[in-house]
Amino acid sequence: MTPALRGLVVLAGFVVVPAILFWLGGRAERSHGRLLSFACRRIAWLGWTALVVFTLSFFLMRAVPGGPFDDERRMAPQVKRNLEARFGLDRPVAEQYLAALGGLPSLDFGPCMTLRDFTVREIIAQGLPPSMLLGLAALAWMLLIGVPVGVLAATRRGSTLDVTLTALASLGMAVPNFVLAGALMMPLVFWSGWLPAAGLTTVDAVLLPSFCLGAPFAAQVARLVRTGLLEVLTQDWVRTARAKGLSERRVVLGHALRGAMLPVVTFLGPALAGILTGSLVIEQVFAIPGVGTHFVQSALNRDYTLSLGMVMLYTVLVYGLNAVADLIHGLLDPRVSLS
Amino acid sequence: MSNAAPTRGASKSDSPGRLAWRAFRHRRSARLATAVLVVVGGLALLAPLLPLAAPSAVHLDAKLRGPTFTAIEGAAFDAAEIKDPGRLTGWLLSARVAVFGSWELPPLFGTDALGRCLLSRILWGARLSLMVGLVASIISLIIGVGWGAVAGYAGGRTDAVLMRAVDVLYALPLMFIVIFVVALLRGFRNAHPELDVNPSLVLFAVIGATSWLTMARIVRGQVTSLRSAAFIDAARACGARPTTILWRHVLPNVSPVVLVTLTLTVPRVMLFEAFLSFLGLGVEAPDVSWGVLARQGFDALTAVHASLWLIAFPGLAFALTLLAMNVVGDALRDALDPRLRGERS
């Protein structure tokens, strides 16, 4: 099977398989409940979305002048032609597209064009673990700081503590994460030497980068928890809980907080997308060898294969994380319809 | 919402707008934040009029000076340093030269690695940063309100299709696509220097075109609930066309929510500009923005020689302005529509 033919088959598959899944999802709604149907539909949309993003990015990149081998000065035309032939760039664009699409199901994006001797898959495999560690740690900071601060501020409403915490939260949302990183780096890294400045080799090296990444989102979570809790605490069922003699701690933590967390779950999707975006910056600040740095560099270098791989990676990540956030929301709140 | 005005203590002259304004004015933090924004906006607008050094004037013998009251020896303002100013800026500049001559303020905030005055760069940078925030937000306003209003008013299949598109776009890594597009466009401009596209304009348009989704969702929700209101039915019964109904009756009722969302979009957009500038994809030299300044300040942080003022002042300017915007946005939201509290993304 020629690469082009393979590409055509994959193209057809990306249109038809999601359609079948979608149809199955509609049927499953009646027989197997909403969870399975939700999963089917989301996966179907993911397939179509991936195809559209792939196609748009591919042709956008080719439409913009300049190729991966233009920057290297004084390259003999013969050498350049050979290089382009090696990566198949001398073929018609449609054929290149189909060939690239053909590799998509097996996650084979081909060799990197600027980082020689590496395939795109290898770059992603090397960069993903540090990036995921950073992202998860930031998520942990977001919840571990955001929720307690929000609860504290709401339960002491109007006190100096509340005013201070609320002001700090507003400030946290107003500072770009790299400015925060710079401000914290001076005392914690350069002056005292408590934390390492860069890299991700030891456990304490994760602390500062993930804090800088998660802090703005922790601020938003704190605000959401505070307003949510204040609203919930006025509800009748909270009064009932108090009336039956529960301690204030159990009323707030055991009953009210659960209701107040719903806005936080809704915020989870945008927050995850934001953490991914922020990691592009934080990875550069702390010289973390993750995928974020490659994303920006490959687009700047016109590394066709690598940047395509990166766009697809982030599309799937953002889409998948959004779907998970929606799923959690739907499971926690039966009033929300999963679609 | 004009049809849900609070009635407590309302006299005949209390329009909903006036009540909201009173609630807004009543908050000290809101008054303070408004004052900050007015000052920052005024300084940005009038920066050419102030006796500042030109933001791009290099003094290699005065590199990395801390904040000081002593002027740089031999420094004199030259209006030619400011490359193609617009008409208003040119006019302000000539007024400045007429009043102050070539005298300029000493580098009160210190100088950067090329001996440029940081105070001047912050004030000139404010022009661009605020402009990015405003222009991109207005673009997002136009697209978002149009999209949401049409979806909400048309209802049915049109609504389903339009909002499904918003859902799909929401799930895309839009930030990544912006970064991708900006990086690619940069290559395009390098290959075609003769086209003379203003890089900042591209930046405005791309950011604006990707931040309208929240606006569309909120407007659509509001319009959907307004659509079945009695006064809309009345307008329809009078034979008003759908465009007239939307423009005259629906949109004015949505405007408070739109205003609130807009105030909260501006700081988000400005943060994004700072991100892009940090990655080297934002505003290009000789233009300066706060993002660019923060990036340069960050680069000046080393273990050996820390020029703290280079990150402190741009960071403070950024934080203060965004904080004020968030406070004003929150106060507006509480004043205009208490039910919106807690809703933000």
Q: For A86-109, what is each residue's pLDDT tens digit?
A: 787 888 888 888 888 888 888 888
Residue B13: pLDDT band with limits 50, 70, 90: low
Could you tell me what percent of chain B has a pLDDT over 90?
Answer: 16
Residue with tokens 């940069």, as numbered in its chain: B186
Residue with tokens 């925030």, as numbered in its chain: B133
User: Average of pLDDT values for A66-91?
Assistant: 76
Do residues B323 and A170 touch, judged by C-beta distance below 8 A?
yes
Residue B330: pLDDT band with limits 50, 70, 90: confident
Name the closest residue on chain A to residue B317, using Cα atoms. A175
What pLDDT is attached to residue A105? 84
What pLDDT is attached to residue B344? 40
Residue with tokens 């920006």, as numbered in its chain: A296
User: Average of pLDDT values for A246-260?
Assistant: 85
Closest CA to A269 of A231, A189, A324: A324
Q: Which residue has the higher pLDDT, B73 or A319?
A: A319
Q: Is the four-CA dihedral B211, B216, B221, B222 of positive or negative sign? A: positive
- Listed in sequence order, the residues at least 6 apart from A213 whose beta carbon sits closer than 8 Å to its beta carbon are A134, A135, A137, A138, A141, A177, A275, A278, A279, A282
Q: How would you label B71-101 residue by residue, b for 16+ Cβ within 10 Å and e otherwise?
A: ebeebebeeeebeeeeeebeebbeebeeeee
Closest CA to A285 of A173, A141, A185: A185
pLDDT at A136 over 90: yes
Q: Which of residues 57-96 of B touch A (CB under 8 A)?
A: none
pLDDT at B175 over 50: yes
pLDDT at B144 over 90: yes
pTM above 0.90, yes or no: no
Q: How would you label B147-179 residue by residue, b for 16+ Cβ within 10 Å and e otherwise?
A: bbbbbbbbeeeebeebbeebeeebbbbbbbbbb
Rounded Cα distance between A226 and B257, Å, is: 22
For residue A104 the two structure tokens come to 């998509």
Task: Give CA separation, B311 vs A173, A207, A244, B92, in Å.
Answer: 18, 22, 55, 29
Residue B337: pLDDT band with limits 50, 70, 90: low
Contact check, Cβ <8 Å, B298/A179:
yes
Could you tell me what percent of chain B has a pLDDT over 70?
Answer: 90
What pLDDT is attached to residue B11? 53
Rounded Cα distance between A164 and A158, Å, is: 10
What pLDDT is attached to residue B10? 47
* Cβ neighbours of B344 in A, within 8 Å: 220, 224
- Nearest-by-Cβ selection for A174 from B176, B322, B342: B322
What pLDDT is attached to residue B335? 84
Closest CA to A150 of A86, A220, A62: A220
- Nearest-by-Cβ selection for B342 from A263, A284, A319: A263
Which of B178, B184, B202 to probe the A interface (max A CBs under 10 A)?
B184
Rounded Cα distance between B187 and A317, Å, is: 27
Do residues A38 and A339 touch, judged by C-beta distance below 8 A?
yes
- Listed in sequence order, the residues at least 6 apart from B74 whose beta carbon sits closer than 8 Å to its beta carbon are none
Q: Which residue has the higher pLDDT, A70 or B227?
A: B227
User: Average of pLDDT values for B109-125?
Assistant: 86
Residue A336: pLDDT band with limits 50, 70, 90: low
Contact check, Cβ <8 Å, A284/B275:
no
Bridge-partner residues for B111, per DSSP?
A: B117
- Nearest-by-Cβ selection for B168 from A45, A270, A284: A45
Residue A326: pLDDT band with limits 50, 70, 90: confident
- The pair phi, psi for residue A119, each rounded to 5°, is -90, 160
Closest CA to A202 of A192, A194, A191: A194
User: Average of pLDDT values for A245-267?
Assistant: 85
A21-70 tens-digit pLDDT: 888 888 877 777 777 888 888 888 889 889 988 998 888 888 777 677 77
User: Average of pLDDT values for B316-326?
Assistant: 92
pLDDT at B2 over 50: no
How many angstroms separate the CA of residue A174 from the nearest CA in chain B? 5
Q: Is domain B16-45+117-336 annotated with CATH 1.10.3720.10?
A: yes
Between A310-314, B113-117, B118-122, the lowest mean confidence (pLDDT) is in B113-117
Residue with tokens 């980068």, as numbered in its chain: A209
Name the closest residue on chain B to residue A308, using Cα atoms. B180
Residue A195: pLDDT band with limits 50, 70, 90: confident
Between A32-36, B92-96, B162-166, the lowest mean confidence (pLDDT) is in A32-36
Residue B345: pLDDT band with limits 50, 70, 90: very low
Residue B40: pLDDT band with limits 50, 70, 90: very high
For residue B138 the two structure tokens come to 């207005």
Bridge-partner residues for B306, per DSSP?
A: B301
Residue B287: pLDDT band with limits 50, 70, 90: confident
What pLDDT is attached to residue B182? 80
Sorted by where each begins, the domain ranges of chain B are: 16-45+117-336, 46-114
- Nearest-by-Cβ selection for A270 from B278, B327, B345: B345
B79-92 tens-digit pLDDT: 777 777 778 888 88
User: Average of pLDDT values for B10-23?
Assistant: 72
* Cβ neighbours of A300 in B, within 8 Å: 183, 186-187
Between A87-96, B125-134, B179-188, the lowest mean confidence (pLDDT) is in B179-188
Check whether the bond before B286 is cis (ω within 30° of 0). Answer: yes
pLDDT at B251 over 80: yes
Do residues A157 and A230 touch, judged by C-beta distance below 8 A?
yes
**ipTM for the predicted complex:** 0.81
Q: Compute the 3-state secondary structure of chain B and give helix, strand, coil in percent, each to the nearest 5.
A: 70, 0, 30
pLDDT at A319 over 90: no
Q: Which residue has the higher pLDDT, B337 or B10?
A: B337
Rounded Cα distance between B177 and A60, Å, is: 11
What pLDDT is attached to residue A144? 95
Task: Provide the mean pLDDT of chain B.
Answer: 82
Q: Where would I find the H helices in chain A?
A: 3-32, 34-63, 77-86, 93-102, 120-155, 160-174, 177-185, 204-232, 236-243, 248-249, 257-260, 262-285, 291-301, 304-332
- Listed in sequence order, the residues at least 6 apart from B149 whose beta carbon sits closer than 8 Å to its beta carbon are B219, B220, B223, B246, B250, B251, B254
Between A309-318, B44-53, B126-135, B300-309, the lowest mean confidence (pLDDT) is in B300-309
- Nearest-by-Cβ selection for B187 from A66, A315, A322: A66
User: Average of pLDDT values for B264-284?
Assistant: 86
Rounded Cα distance between A95 and A77, Å, is: 23
> If you count residue pairs, one on A and one on B, with CB atoms under 8 Å apart, how many are there?
154
Between A1-10, A97-106, A196-205, B100-109, the lowest mean confidence (pLDDT) is in A196-205
How many angstroms separate the CA of residue B68 from the nearest CA in chain A? 22
